[in-house]
Amino acid sequence: MALIKCSECQREISDKATSCPHCGYPLNKIEMQENENYEIDDANSLGLKNLIDKFDKSDNKIEGSSKNSTNNNISNKNFPFIRVIIIFCGLTIIIFALIFNNNQNEIISTMANSSYENIQPTKSESQIKEEQIKAQEEAKKIAQEKADRQVKINSFLSKMRIETDDVKDIKWIYDTSSPMYINVNAIFIYISALKDNSNPTLRMKIQYTGENWLFINSYSLKVDDKLYTITPSYGEVERDNKTTVWEWYDFIPNNSQISIIREIIKSNKTILRYEGDIYNKDKEITQTEKNAMNNILQLYDLMVKQ
């Protein structure tokens, strides 16, 4: 039995006593104070506190019972090394535990995915065959629709006036009633396309002829009770003269202007006004012009879909 001092009254007491017989101070508090001298917070966070505490208690008992013993001094010198080994072993165990846990999670995830794939509904041969038949029928339907459109396109083209450019492989498609020259007051649409009918582009032409210049800067269209205005940019209205003067505007209509064309075709009465700097001139769009617009627009729609 070794004697140690009570940290409360400083009297000597047995190291095996649970409390000081003089002042009643509990011995376990003394052990806790001694243990605080060992900074092992990192070991505590790794779950090795109990193991190290046991070695600390053994160390404290050895120090209290035989301070003059050579063997005990050797044990005290070797204890830090033992502590390092214990911490290293603990860390190794924790790392391997984490690796094992991750591998286990991957295995579980793989098994879950495999199970999910296995429970996915598989298509029967009859379902696959039915889908193939539907796809074939859809392909036939599309091919038939394309063939029908081509028949209609050919029918329209047979009634059109076509002008070609053999150098650039371009053609222009006009309704036969549309004027060939600019010496007529008119408004009409036509199509420009490649020779194989690909890349169709809808165009619109408004032309004026008369004895006096108007120097047109815009066009007003009174379609039944609606009023629309088409305003060319500066320089887009072309002009020429001989015995009479000619002013014309040839352009690609935008979507809103194409909508105006459709309204003109359906209208009861449409008046076109050539707006000049000083003078204006009005012209009512004839039914022949409306029919020509309708023919070209139908052909254009078919060529775009084709």
Q: Are 172 and 163 in contact (CB under 8 A)?
A: yes
Structure tokens at 154: 């050919």
Type of residue at 5: K
Do 206 and 294 share a domain, yes or no?
Answer: yes
Q: What is the CA radius of gyration of the chain?
A: 51
Tens digit of pLDDT per residue, the chain (306 long)? Answer: 577 888 888 888 887 778 888 888 886 644 444 444 433 444 444 444 554 555 455 444 444 444 444 445 444 555 567 877 888 888 888 887 788 776 666 766 666 666 555 555 678 888 899 999 999 999 999 999 999 999 999 999 999 999 999 999 999 999 999 999 999 999 999 999 999 999 999 999 999 999 999 999 999 999 999 999 999 999 999 999 999 999 999 999 999 999 999 999 999 999 999 999 999 999 999 999 999 999 999 999 999 998
**Residue 2 in 3-state DSSP?**
coil
Q: Are 273 and 282 in contact (CB under 8 A)?
A: yes
Do 171 and 289 share a domain, yes or no?
Answer: yes
Q: Domain boundary residue among 95, 123, 144?
A: 95
Beta strands in the chain (DSSP E): 3-5, 12-14, 160-165, 170-175, 186-194, 201-210, 216-223, 226-230, 238-241, 245-251, 270-276, 280-284
Q: Is 52 within the bounds of a domain?
A: yes
CA-wise closest residue to 227 among 185, 267, 287, 276: 267
Do 53 and 186 share a domain, yes or no?
Answer: no
Q: Domain boundary residue among 52, 73, 95?
A: 95
Structural domain total, the chain: 2
Do 82 and 157 share a domain, yes or no?
Answer: no
Q: Are 180 and 190 in contact (CB under 8 A)?
A: no
- Sign, CA torsion 237/238/240/246: negative
